[in-house]
Structure 1
Amino acid sequence: MADCQQKSFLSPDIPFSGSLLGGLQEGKTLIIIGRVLPNADKFTVDLQHATGCGTDIALHFKPHFDDGPAHIVFNTLKKGSWGPEEKSACPFVKGQPFTLEIHVTKEAYKVSVNGKHLADYKHRIPFTLVDTILVHQMVKLDFVAYQKPATIPYKALISDGLQSGKDIVIHGVPKADSKRMEFNLRHRFGIAFHYQCRFEENAVVRNTYENGSWGREERDGAVPFAPGQFFQIKISCNSDHYDVFLNGKQIHTYKHRFTKLEDIDVFEVRGNVELIYVQV
């Protein structure tokens, strides 16, 4: 099957229905980033396809908050009939953000929440038939994508260069044995902003590389990341500095040493980290 270019959906309304170009393919991952509403009793993610007699749901994924302890129901709707339910614990928290990954393998859907594996759900309907994702009920969506896992080192072009007001958002998980991970904003001749987490030194180093040498390091404070734990980093570019936010909380500020923002055209991730999603 051809590897089709699937567009991403930013801040779609609920209920959300999105076509999966080319259908589901082995080795690719659905990524859903959002927030459970504070008053949620449930929400639903369905992977489905139309049939001559209606709609089959290959994967019905439904966190419940209203029926005893919070839990998740997995099921399949085939030819108008539900199969036996499968259940798991619920890592979602009302009012809190989440990243849900559904990775497609030959045997099953591998489901992870916030970078941690939750469950395997074996196929009851061939995944190649699935052509639509539906998300509805008590949830707010920030992003929905269907893509291959990102590889490290990771590089992305910044169209038309960096500018004040631009945000770069990274979702990921440092691997359990991670010693270092870094984010770089690069230009043709150097690195405008180098942000490196050194787990073995319990330090986050900020610096600039230009004219063939590194400048003075900034490294106050301890490492705010933990190996094996999900993070969301946002790097916000302002007119005279960068702000760095971790899981919504500002943790660092770095004044521009390289001021030709329009020349900064590459964002890079290196180190021992699993990348879930990068928005450049």
Structure 2
Amino acid sequence: MTYVPAPGYQPTYNPTLPYNKPIPGGLSVGMSIYIQGVASEHMKRFSVNFMVGQGSGSDIAFHFNPRFDGWDKVVFNAQQGGQWGKEEKIRSMPFHKGTPFELVFMVMAEHYKVVVNGNPFYEFGHRIPLQMVTHLQVDGDLELQSINFIGGQPAPSHTPMVTPAYPGPGGSYQPPLSSLPTMEGPPTFNPPVPFVGRLQGGLTARKTIIIKGYVPPTGKSFTINFKVGSTGDLALHINPRMDEGAVVRNSCLNGSWGSEDRKLSYNPFGCGQFFDLSVRCGLDRFKVFANGQHLFDFSHRLSSFQKVDMLEIQGDVTLSYVQI
């Protein structure tokens, strides 16, 4: 079975280090790069470089460099013509040894916005035109789980979101409820839970929904529902139960629950873990992938699956990205 990513969503799972590969379509305003991984127990430093070219002597438009050296800090810089520029740094360390993290670089018109575990961390002004950046390089004392390029190659019907909705320092972002019914295509960053999104025109075959999130260390359960708004029917109910170590799938039609599916070859939903879920609607079933691996199929019990027009997510989960 083939994993087909959503338009404008280019994932790589379990990449090896050092990572040094082209950025799909090149860097552009509105693009976001998600890096999920685990900081090494013996971490001293790691780096993320936005490169102008792939070679060792290439210019570095943005060098992001956390250092555990007794004076824990994160260093930011750029390198042109073999010379480092003026160093910027923060004496604050958002990464913890042996702990999973999610690092996001959001490409803005004037700067790179760095977000760590959902919290805005730093803004680094462009010193080299972002259009010149061709490669991403990652290396150091960490284990990579995934690198996702989002928004770089949207399909013609999808409009890239130029100003992503991350909360500013000291504030939290709450999307206006009036925007929910028309949300279609453009991703939503860091949406609050409970989350409600509307699938304009209903669920269509070959449509893919992307959900990236984090299960808190004390999380017990959360649900993802593909719902018919007019009747309340649930065509697909996904219920990870961390306290049971289970992922329950079911449907609820005409007020009656069907038979549960529980069998899985692996469970990607662990306390304190990030996940990347892709739900693809086929003609006869939902095909669900987690972290790039096939997780389960769920045959359609609601034959008129096109009536599904709502996505609901609630419970013990933090969302970092949803694309409907």
Percent identity for Structure 1 against Structure 2: 30
Give the gaps of 5 or more residues in structure 2.
1-6, 152-163, 165-186, 189-195, 217-221, 241-247, 275-296
Out of 160, 170, 173, the position equivalent to 2:212 is: 170
Out of 247, 269, 279, the position equivalent to 2:272 is: 247
CA contact (8 A) 2:67 2:73 kept: yes
Kindly report which structure 2 residues correspond to 1:56-71, keeping only aligned pairs within 5 A, or say none.
56-65=59-68, 67-71=69-73
Cα distance in 1 for partners of 2:300, 2:60 equals: 48
Q: Please tell me the residue identity of whatever aligns with 1:98.
A: F
Cα distance in 2 for partners of 1:263, 1:17 equals: 41
**Is the alpha carbon distance of 1:70 and 1:159 closer, same or farther for their aligned partners in structure 2, counting shifts above 3 Å?**
farther
Out of 300, 303, 311, the position equivalent to 1:263 is: 300
What's 2:262 paired with?
238
CA contact (8 A) 1:72 1:87 kept: yes
Query: Cα offset for 1:193?
Result: 1.8
- TM-score normalised according to structure 1 size: 0.64
Kindly report which structure 2 residues correspond to 1:30-69, keeping only aligned pairs within 5 A, or say none.
30-50=33-53, 54-65=57-68, 67-69=69-71
User: Matched residue pairs, number?
Assistant: 222
What's 1:85 paired with?
87
Q: Please tell me the residue identity of whatever aligns with 1:78.
A: Q
What's 2:150 paired with?
147
- Secondary structure (helix, strand or coil) at the match of 2:299 reads helix
Stretch of structure 1 that moved more, 46-55 or 95-104: 46-55
**Is the alpha carbon distance of 1:11 and 1:135 closer, same or farther for their aligned partners in structure 2, counting shifts above 3 Å?**
same
- Secondary structure (helix, strand or coil) at the match of 2:53 reads strand
- Secondary structure (helix, strand or coil) at the match of 1:124 reads coil
Runs of 4+ residues deviating >3 angstroms: 51-54, 154-161, 206-209, 242-246, 264-271
What's 2:252 paired with?
210
Q: Please tell me the residue identity of whatever aligns with 1:239.
A: K
**Is the alpha carbon distance of 1:169 and 1:29 closer, same or farther for their aligned partners in structure 2, counting shifts above 3 Å?**
closer
Cα distance in 2 for partners of 1:124, 1:277 equals: 28
What's 1:109 paired with?
112
Give the gaps of 5 or more residues in structure 1.
162-167, 175-180, 197-205, 216-236, 250-259
Cα distance in 1 for partners of 2:10, 2:29 equals: 18
**Is the alpha carbon distance of 1:69 and 1:238 closer, same or farther for their aligned partners in structure 2, counting shifts above 3 Å?**
farther
Cα distance in 2 for partners of 1:51, 1:39 equals: 28
Cα distance in 2 for partners of 1:51, 1:11 equals: 21
Deviations 1:232-270 (A, max 9, x none): xxxxx7329x97644249xxxxxxxxxx93227999455
Cα distance in 1 for partners of 2:271, 2:249 equals: 18
- TM-score normalised according to structure 2 size: 0.56
CA contact (8 A) 2:24 2:149 kept: no
